[in-house]
Structure 1
Amino acid sequence: MNNLKNTPCLIVTLCKSLNYGAYLQAFALQEILTTYGYQVSFLDIYDKENNIKRYKHLFGGIKNTPQSYIFNIRKLLAFKKYEKKLTIVPRGNLSRFKVVFIGSDEVWSVTNGSFNSAPEFFGINLPKSLKFSYAPSVGSSNVEDLNSYPKYVQGISELSMISVRDIESLEVAKKASIDKDISMVLDPTFLHDFVKNEEKYDISKPYILVYTYGFEKNIVKEVKAYARRNKLLILSAGFYHSWADKNIACNPFEFLSIVRNADSVITDTFHGSIFAIKYRKNFISYGGNKPKVKYLLESLGLEKSLVEVGYLSNDNTIDTTYSNLEAILNPKINESRNYLERCNTMMLN
């Protein structure tokens, strides 16, 4: 694909989200596309309203305390520094971009309260170039929710090629684009090797990593009991929880080494599950009520890691079997890369 060298390429995603998964999926897609020769930039969709939502989401919670405010300020500063690893361009004259990749993350969600849907997430207001989606998700939205935005549905239908990362997003794409083939691909974090990007973060004692926006009280109780039984610290990265032994407002690349060095991982999030899997950690997820988490783990043969409240109260251990993962995951990685190759072929023709 040398003919793509220095081809201006625009990625439209949540590039300024103060969330490890959102940042790392954006970074991963940038790195993958760069290997094909693209000169990658990100569109800044963070207008005044989205910036207000971003900061309100970080500082406006009813459970905020002085400790959590200080924690979130540190987190904000860490992310501000690492935004510089992404070339972010403002809305305006985008005519120089020959190709656009939309995704991944929940860019097709119209019900996510942490950001306003941008028309560009659906291919609208973008240059007259080839437009591809790569692994977007509708999150908790569904076909009916998207049907309330006919312009967005029309925008999806006009994309040059379409891929999604989960079943709910596939249903939306099928409704919008009846005559087009739609590919199921992996989140870009599965396609990039982050080893060279990791930044060391030393933790002096063995620990469980918890990665969650918040657990209900019964889960907190059993997690704490499990940690005591196994003489492990409870470490929370990226989110302040008063019940954790240690809260760390690390940068995204320190987060990677924190996952790598954890004794085990407890999460209920999509990317929390992904990074536990990438580093082959023993993990459990309380995210079975979230369609994207449930689909991810079931599609990789790791449905036994989906647990209900009370799991750790029954003397169960956190023990994940990965014996079949390579046979399932590697073909999906190849299919995802093949989709990108087809996008590149269309770009060259």
Structure 2
Amino acid sequence: MKITIVTPYDSANYGAYLQALANKIFLEELGHSVFFYKWRSPKKRKQLFFGKKDSIKNLIKYVMKYKYNAHKYHVFSDALDIFHEIDENELSAMELAILGSDEIWNINVNTFQNPVFYGEINVPKICAYAPSAGNGAELERYNSVCCSLAQVEIIGVRDQSTVELVEKLLNKKTKLVVDPTLLIPFSYYPVPNKRIISEKYMLIYSYDISKEHIEWIKRYAHEKKLKTVAVCMQHGWCDKNICVSPLEFLSLIRDAECVYTTTFHGSIFTFLQHKRCYVDIKSTKVKDLLAWTGMTNQVNRVNCTYERFIKILDIQPNYNLFEENLLIRRKQSSSMYQEILTKIEKMQESGKRNDLYMS
């Protein structure tokens, strides 16, 4: 089938890009032709990287971060070559639209108030794989998109809060599925072999980090004679701040001595590469991920001490358990995904035969 994916593949973070890439690889392995719908303008996309200049404070921030953000914009833009992008005029050739993954149903986020994420797209059949509503939203805000969502075949969603949302909003039962990044073996990702940083280092991939954790990271790195390397998000206290392509990001994780992250996809790719790590939980999606993968020993605790912090980082996690849990979930999710795709293909073939008969 010719399939268009509706997702923020062109965002300014690694997770959005890599989940889109994984979905593409999974579908192409099944023999489908995969395209990505360009749902926002180049100007809107550029704003993601540079921000607004609508106040003195934002203008100063814009100037101070311009060089880093310009590099980041070009790195991410170059990485889009791997996706076959289409616009509104090319939708007529598509047989199926897939909504997801990522937090495309988090209607509290301005970006995801675009009706296209809820099924308002001119394609014959629409389904959704692993969308998320984030940490929850006010149900009444979904009224305008209820009719569109009701027409969407939901294969499965990414988290329990979205399961509950779908049930309340649409009176539909749905199941949990893994994020697309976990649908395929890690060996399927075309990760560059070249090492980017020659020194031994601790990788930092996080938005906000508490002052206490900053001191712990610096102290740990000093004791272990490691450089601190922040990627994608700038942290002035780190030895290095770099921005690389999404696939180079995976090689940075691979070559790190250990990883500190607060993010969902940062955790996923750290686990997939069996790295020593510390995960600071700042969202429900990360908490859920660590629970079902059996990786809860890698997280912060109430009244966590520096001694506990270094113990977590120094001990190799139980990745045998992780792989066992992942294999079960991956098989279940893959089967559900393929089942729906096969059903849609059969329906379309039946429709074509009927059209041929009627003519």
Do the two structures share a fold, i.e. TM-score over 0.5? yes
Q: Does 1:294 align with 2:291?
A: no
Give the partner amino acid of 1:120.
V
Task: Please give the residue correspondences for 1:1-349 in structure 2 after superposition, counting only pairs within 5 Å.
Answer: 7-47=1-41, 50-51=44-45, 53-57=47-51, 64=61, 68-92=65-89, 94-112=91-109, 115-127=111-123, 129-142=124-137, 144=138, 146-178=139-171, 180-195=172-187, 197-199=190-192, 200-287=194-281, 289-308=282-301, 311=304, 313-314=306-307, 316-317=310-311, 318=313, 319=315, 320-349=317-346
- Aligned identity (percent) is 30
Give the partner amino acid of 1:8.
K
What CA deviation, in whole Å up to 9, does each residue of 1:194-244 have, x standing for no partner? 445112232111111110122122221111111111111111111111111
**C-alpha spacing 1:25/1:59, structure 2 compared with 1 (3 Å):** farther
Deviates more, 1:15-24 or 1:150-159: 150-159
Question: Any idea what SS the aligned residue of 1:236 has?
Answer: strand
Q: Offset of 1:328 from its aligned partner?
A: 1.2
Query: What is the TM-score of this pair, normalised by structure 2?
Result: 0.87
- Asked whether the equivalents of residues 226 and 312 of structure 1 are also in contact (C-alpha less than 8 Å), the reply is no
Q: Distance in 1 between matches of 2:249 and 2:167?
A: 36
Query: What is the TM-score of this pair, normalised by structure 1?
Result: 0.89
- Asked whether the equivalents of residues 4 and 94 of structure 2 are also in contact (C-alpha less than 8 Å), the reply is yes
What CA deviation, in whole Å up to 9, does each residue of 1:172-209 have, x standing for no partner? 1122332x441211111112244451122321111111
Q: Which runs of 5 or more structure 2 residues have no equivalent in the other structure?
A: 347-359
Question: Any idea what SS the aligned residue of 2:98 has?
Answer: strand
RMSD: 2.3
- Asked whether the equivalents of residues 68 and 240 of structure 1 are also in contact (C-alpha less than 8 Å), the reply is no
Q: Distance in 2 between matches of 1:52 and 1:348?
A: 37
- Asked whether the equivalents of residues 222 and 312 of structure 1 are also in contact (C-alpha less than 8 Å), the reply is no
Q: Distance in 1 between matches of 2:38 and 2:267?
A: 28
Q: Offset of 1:29 from its aligned partner?
A: 0.4
- Asked whether the equivalents of residues 50 and 69 of structure 2 are also in contact (C-alpha less than 8 Å), the reply is no
Q: Distance in 1 between matches of 2:53 and 2:183?
A: 33
What CA deviation, in whole Å up to 9, does each residue of 1:74-97 have, x standing for no partner? 111111111111011123452221
Q: Distance in 1 between matches of 2:52 and 2:223?
A: 33
Give the partner amino acid of 2:86.
V
Q: Offset of 1:160 from its aligned partner?
A: 2.0
**C-alpha spacing 1:321/1:108, structure 2 compared with 1 (3 Å):** same
What CA deviation, in whole Å up to 9, does each residue of 1:295-340 have, x standing for no partner? 1111111112220486462353213222322221111000111011
**C-alpha spacing 1:80/1:165, structure 2 compared with 1 (3 Å):** same
Q: Which runs of 5 or more structure 1 residues have no equivalent in the other structure?
A: 1-6
What CA deviation, in whole Å up to 9, does each residue of 1:241-292 have, x standing for no partner? 11111111101111111111111111111111111111111111112x3111
**C-alpha spacing 1:171/1:214, structure 2 compared with 1 (3 Å):** same
